[in-house]
Amino acid sequence: MRHGNICESGLKATWDGDKKLVAETIAKSQQDYASIINFHDENALACAVMMSYFTARKYYYVKRELLAGRGFADIAFIPRKEGEHPAMIVELKWNRSAKTAIKQIKDKEYAGALTDYKGEILLVGINYNKKTGKYTCRMERA
C-alpha cells in the first residue's frame, strides 16, 4: 500500500475512533521514518505521527507545539473548512498511557486554543511503550 493511502486510512480511522488501526499506522510510520539512532524518544514519535497524517494537510492546518491553555499541545489539526472534519488536538506520551495524554489535554485546557472554532474537536492521545514496543491510542470527542 502506498504511503498516501496509509495516511488517508489512518486519518479516517482517527475520525472513526478506530484506536487499533491508528496505532498500527503510527507504528508503521515510526519503523519507516524514524532514525534508528533516536528511535526511542518523543521526537521520533512526533515524526511518526506527522508522517502518519501527512495527507491531512489537504484538510487541516497542522501546528506543532501550539500554545494552548496552560501549556503547548503537541500537535493541533485545525480544519481548513469548518464543519467538514473535526479539529484534532494530539498529545504524545512516552512510557505512560494514551489515557494520561487525554487527561493532560483536558487538565491543561488545550482545546481553549480553538475558542473561535465552532465545530467538533477530537482529543487524541498516543502513547509508545519502549519496553513492550507497543503503541496505544485513545480518542474522545470534546
- pLDDT on residue 38: 67
Q: In CATH, what number is assigned to the domain containing residue 72?
A: 3.40.1350
- The b/e string for 65-100 (b: 16+ C-beta within 10 A; e otherwise) is ebebbebbbbbbbbbeeeeebbbbbbbbbeebebee
Low-confidence ranges of the chain (pLDDT < 50): 1, 3
* Global confidence as pTM: 0.89
Structural domain count of the chain: 1
| Segments forming the whole domain that contains residue 119 | 3-141
